[in-house]
Structure 1
Amino acid sequence: MASVPTSDIPLFSSVASYREWRRKAYDATQSVGFVATMGALHEGHASLVRRSLAENDLTVVSIFVNPAQFAPHEDLATYPRTLPHDLEVLSLLKVQTTSGVHSPSAVFVPSVYDMYPSGISQNPAEQKGTFVEVKGFGHQMEGTTRPTFFRGVATVVTKLFNVIEPTRTYFGQKDIQQALLLRRMVRDLLLSHPTPENLHIVPTARDPTSSLALSSRNTYLTPAEREHAAPTLYAALNAGRDAWAAGLRKAECIQRARELVQGKTNVLGPDGIEVKLDYIEMNDADSFEVVPENESRTSWEAEVAGRPVLLSGAMWVGKTRLIDNIILGNEASLGVLRP
């Protein structure tokens, strides 16, 4: 623990030390909520932690930058690592419940070796050891441009669930494909901690001024990029949502959303901030497969008994890649928790 900052919250840097703490919670029949993070905590993370504090006797937060979900060309080396700040954020979180005031109970801060005893490389071809893959659900949406991402996420979250043994766990809607994929993984692997029903999705936390989805990578944005360009993606998705609600075909909905982003390319702000669209698409919330071009809201709801559609997108603002999504339809059926 020598390299870990001091904190009022118990910190566990090894699997063995955490499991000793967890056994005491079992003996006391206390429920354990869990929020998995890569650190650089912001209000989005805080909203997940507060939900856990309100619904569980104890709440555990993990902070671990997972090498397996970064491709060789991605930003593992520069990803923000702000542990002292993160611990300060957590120390300020408190929720009044009928049983008293709840605050975070423990923070799990493992080493890379603890999480990957066989070692880990960012190059999947060089990786050795055990990995988890949810076949058929990781190549769509975000997986189109990040083909190894969900394998890394599924692997590390399985490990974390095995260590933390949460009663309930909480993920943000901003990463909707990730959250739904993990729900499926929990079901397929017959996990008891958590069960699929206890993997909850919390609505995306947004900047109160710009509606930008909060993300640790937002720290990469310059003030001009944040003000003039970053809100464009959410505005585009809202244009698509409005078109879908008005009964337009899926192809027309996507076109309206794309045009809003493409119309901003290289013209935003005083310095001509570069904006590049990665994708905007509509996908089946169950299979993640692309919704056919000729579908409309009415025809879709009739064919699939109202199953929701995921309207999602990604874009580059300068050197920063942003993602966002809107759920079209019954979000509660996906495990999304509203206040």
Structure 2
Amino acid sequence: MKNILNILLILCVILNSCAPSKSLQIGNTKAEGFSIIEVPASQRVDILLDGKRYTSYMYADSLKKPILFPLTTTNGNFVTRGWPIEPRANERTDHPHQMGLWFNYGDVNGLDFWNNSTSRLPNERMKYGAIVHQKVDSIAASNNSALLRVSKLWLSPTSEPLLSEECTYKFQVSKEGQIMISIRVSLNALRDVNFDDNKEGLLAIRVARELEQPYMQKTTFTDAYGIEDSVARVDNQGVTGVYYSSEGKVGDDVFGTRGRWAMLNGVIHKEEVSLIILDHPQNVGYPSYWFARGYGLFAANPLGQRVFSKGQEVLKYKLAKGESTVFKYQVVIHSGSHLDSQTADQFSRDFANQ
């Protein structure tokens, strides 16, 4: 049953992403720098860099929340897992709800927005919420930056709106070839909303196989055609990732600790890569706790304090009807070398002033 549901999920997402449509392009037409193409019939907005798709804002209903997918280095090496949207050989086939880069949470008024996917059985679906794209508010693109502003709704399984979201994605490329993605999420409560302490949230990336940390637990992988193997096994070939945090934690020790930033260093097709998530001092719960798992989930979660502190801290964050809050994060994708803590600290200081 699990294999059948996963195959149906893959087909559903692929069909949504490949549908033909008319498109509107904003930005450069000479394949230099950033440009943006709206593709509404395929439920996505493509962000192009030098004439090639860098990523897409994807909002098909089958995803259960909008995502950025894929993310790559400027040389085109994938830093996000492809499965289940665009499967690649030797990827893990766990957690089908973990795709690209996304923002959601595991407990909002008792509903799980994090683990929702089309693999959920019908008798389970009343436990899960979904984030639904409403409209593209504005787009802009120039040589070295692009901006996409969108509106979303956080809905209960009976389509009751709990939160409205305005999200701005800003893409920049530096002279050194670093990609920086700044995310500003404004949440407005449409009724009283409780974010109970939960380990699963808030801003997250599911990374490519090469950026995972070596992991000794048996699991299933995709074959050369992106189809799940039938035999679980341990396979760390090409797995090179190591986590670091602003507080000097390394490897598995980063999980469940606070930090102003966390960084994942690894090698993808002989290219050294550093992937950094920066927290912002204005965010609730700063500095964030980090859900940094060796199997490939890299997330900043400032709201799950009771879980990560083992009961020493309790947040139970709430918004009354009409109240709002803002979360700011920045993702840095650097390639060609591994960044050190001093450089990550400088990125953090620069972002804190934005």
More strand by share: 2
Q: Normalising to structure 1: TM-score of the pair?
A: 0.31
TM-score normalised by structure 2 residue count: 0.30
Q: Which has the larger radius of gyration?
A: 1
